[in-house]
Amino acid sequence: MNIIINDISFCQIKFFNKNIYLAKVFHPNLEKLPDFSINLKMSTFQKKYKVVLIGSSSVGKTSIVIRFSKNTFSGNQESTIGAAFISRDIQTDKGSISLHVWDTAGQERYRSLVPKYSQGAAAIIIVYDVTDQESFLSAQEWYEEARMNHPGKVIWFLVANKCDLKAEVDAESAKEFAQNHEMYYIETSAKTGQNIQELFVQIANLVPKIPTENGGLDLTAQPKKEEKKCC
């Protein structure tokens, strides 16, 4: 039977303090339409957070993303042109969230595009190669530049990649830089997979704690009441 709908109205309900509109459908030739079950799943309102990797070319940003998303590694990975994007859901103690991970190009000619791709990021990962002292010095420059473009609340990670190889960068110096700039520090190897999943799981557990304008939609958070103070 074909049903032609000629009258639609809407009802409004509250769901976690958000207005949701449901269509009520009427048909003149039917006393009652078949029941349609509407299932409001929390996955519909899954929190999404943008995570951006920056750093010099050849430090292993793309390999980190591929290891995280596909659990594979290629020693002949081509350099990223512009930016690449993947998304993956992670189960946390607070529920499932979706990380939208952006892998940006490290070549100098694409550097001006990084602020555009990193806009709205909840977490920024700055990667350097432990076998390349110059990449660590560049990581500090990447941080200063990114900080200027992200004055708000952002979770920062300093990632020492290729830790399966002999390090030329002093780990204590890197840790000191991270500590002085309120960054999380972690050593990873995209080749072996060391600490790759741990890195993103830690991010997934941290990002819900930052203001929602940085990419997360928190439907359960209640606004804080301002306390009145006397002068």
To the nearest whole percent, how much of the chain has pLDDT over 70? 65
101 domain residue, yes or no? yes
**What is the DSSP annotation of 84-99?**
EEEEEEEEETTEEEEE
Decide which of 147 and 78 is more confident.
147
Is the distance from CB of 105 to CB of 115 less than 8 angstroms?
A: no
Domain ranges, residue 74: 48-209
What CATH number has the domain bearing residue 176? 3.40.50.300
Global pTM value: 0.71
**Does residue 225 sit within a domain?**
no
> Is residue 37 included in any domain, yes or no?
no
Is 60 part of a structural domain of the chain? yes
Asked if residue 139 is part of any domain, the answer here is yes
DSSP conformational letter for 70:
H
Take residue 19 and report the two structure tokens written for it.
């207005």
Encode pLDDT of 10-31 as tens digits: 444 444 444 444 444 444 554 5
| 137 domain residue, yes or no | yes
Q: What is the mean pLDDT of the chain?
A: 77
Task: Establish if 8 belongs to a structural domain.
Answer: no
Q: Report, as an integer, the average pLDDT of 47-64.
A: 92
Chain centroid, CA 125 distance in Å: 10
Question: For the chain, how many structural domains are there in total?
Answer: 1
Q: Is residue 160 part of a domain?
A: yes
